[in-house]
Amino acid sequence: MSDVADVLNDSGSDEDEEEQCDTAESFRRSTRIRHPNPNPKYRDFEVDIPASLVIEAVNALMEPQTVQEALNAPDTSKWIEALKKEFKDLMRNNTWELVERPKGKTVLSSKWVFMRKRDANGNVVRHRTRITIKGCQHKYGVDYWETYSPVVAQKAVKFILLLSLHLGLSARHVDFVTAFLNGPLDDDVEIYMEMPEYFDDGSGRVCKLLRSLYGLMQAPMIWYQTLDKYLRQCGFRRTKMDGGIYTRSVGGSPIFVAVYVDDLVIVGTDENVELVLRELRAKFQVKDLGPVTDLLHVQVSYVPGEALWISQRGYIDKVLRRFGMEGCRPVYSASYRRYT
């Protein structure tokens, strides 16, 4: 028994330890070259980028960034027309006055913004330019304070459209022309801007703003306050449900107005809708876009008193192009098959 115990307690000789180390260091490693699985489904990791995906990415970068790029673009005549229209609108609204460069005052830079306005299907409907002031150079608490301006929620727009359907009312889409230029600045506010490119007369003078301008931090708030004040003067009341919905009654018939920045949806009888349009034209320059068909990139098909369809076909097609999935197989829901 003592011999067995000695063997169990013996940790082994030095030769045994060396043999174990040699074994641990001499593990065999395969020299066989590894090859990919020949099954085709395992070799489809290299996917060609669809041409549509490239086109969609390029289109996102195609808007001119400077006046020179716009003048060199294939549709340069459209951009020149848009440039002249924007400047004409600014002068008509008396947006600024030219003054000598003030000493000790910050003069903000200006920038042209170019946009191709598209409908819900992604088609270009017009060219738009905006002279914007670089309000990001202003400091909160020094150059401006409040900036909040409410806009109507999409669910509230759907609600008044359904309400108009139930009551058999018309729904009209109205757009304000250069909306932000309608709000006057307070007399104690002094904001200076460099003369915009393409219209600089070389005199060294600068623009002293008399009215709000795109790019100012407080511009949306000033426009909302201007429109809110006028709608109240016309007898409208803002609802508690949504700060972007106004109501009014004329001849016992209700009128609803939904406000989303410079887009309006007027719901009422044909006579009342025309009445509101006349009141708006007395104060602002507005564009009557007719019955609601394209609102906030949502397609609307509306038959008063009969049916209402809301879809985003244009947006869906855009997303499919973005990810190269135009050829994917659609799967229809049960409700789609039942009601279409």
Confidence of residue 145 (pLDDT cuts 50, 70, 90): confident
**Tens digit of each residue's pLDDT (9 = 90 or more) over 256-308:** 999 999 999 999 999 999 999 999 999 999 999 999 888 877 888 877 778 88
Is 293 in contact with 173 (CB distance < 8 Å)?
yes
* 187 has a pLDDT exceeding 80: no
Task: Find where tokens 């006057």 sit.
Answer: 184
Confidence of residue 234 (pLDDT cuts 50, 70, 90): very high
Select the more confidently predicted residue: 139 or 105.
105
**Tens digit of each residue's pLDDT (9 = 90 or more) over 17-27:** 444 545 445 55
Task: For residue 252, give Cα distances in angstroms to 2, 23, 201, 269.
Answer: 116, 100, 56, 11
Pairing of strands 294-295, 286-291: unpaired
Termini Cα distance of the chain: 94
Cα 32-34-36 angle, rounded to 5 deg: 155
pTM of the complete model: 0.70
Task: Tell me the one-letter amino acid at 194.
Answer: E
Q: Would you state the pLDDT for residue 2? A: 47
Mean pLDDT across 308-332? 83
Task: Please list, in sequence order, all residues whose beta carbon lies within 8 angstroms of the beta carbon of residue 128, skipping any fewer than 6 positions away.
Answer: 82, 114, 115, 116, 117
Give the C-alpha separation, 196 to 87, whole Å.
10
Q: Would you state the pLDDT for residue 303? A: 79
